Amino acid sequence: MTVSAKIPEELKHELEKADINVDAVIRTALEAEVRQRRRERLSERAAEFNKDSQECINSEDVVDLVRMDRTERRR
């Protein structure tokens, strides 16, 4: 796929003068942006899952189950 963008003439000259590989810079920036957005989506989904699971799990029940398990292991 080809992507194009308009940039000021001065920037074009600066890029050429600095021998910057624009293709590589754009590709790297786009890949980084995709990774960042993916992380954000996963983080949002994890937060939703955590919220949902907190509503389903009673902490007192968890404490009781751990105590029962420890008691069983001691026998």
| 4 in any annotated domain | no
- Cα distances from 72 to residues 9, 43, 59, 65, in angstroms, run 76, 37, 20, 11
pLDDT for residue 23? 94
Q: So what's the pLDDT on residue 32?
A: 97
Residue 40 lies in a domain: yes
pTM here is 0.61
Q: Residue 18 belongs to what domain range?
A: 9-74
Whether 3 is in a domain gets the answer no
**Confidence at residue 34, expressed as pLDDT on a 0 to 100 scale:** 96
Which pLDDT score is estimated for 61?
81
Give the 3-state secondary structure of residue 30: helix
Residue 1 lies in a domain: no
Looking at the domain assignment, is residue 32 inside a domain?
yes
What is the rounded CA–CA span in Å between residue 42 and residue 48?
10
Decide if 22 is inside a domain: yes
CA distance linking residue 52 with residue 45, whole number of Å = 10
| Residue 14 belongs to some domain of the structure | yes
Task: Please give the torsion angle defined by the CA atoms of residues 28, 31, 32 and 37, in that order, rounded to the nearest 10 degrees.
Answer: 160
Decide if 26 is inside a domain.
yes
Structural domains counted in the chain:
1
- Tens place of pLDDT per residue across the chain (75 aa): 898 999 999 999 999 999 999 999 999 999 999 999 999 999 999 988 887 777 777 778 888 888 888 888 877
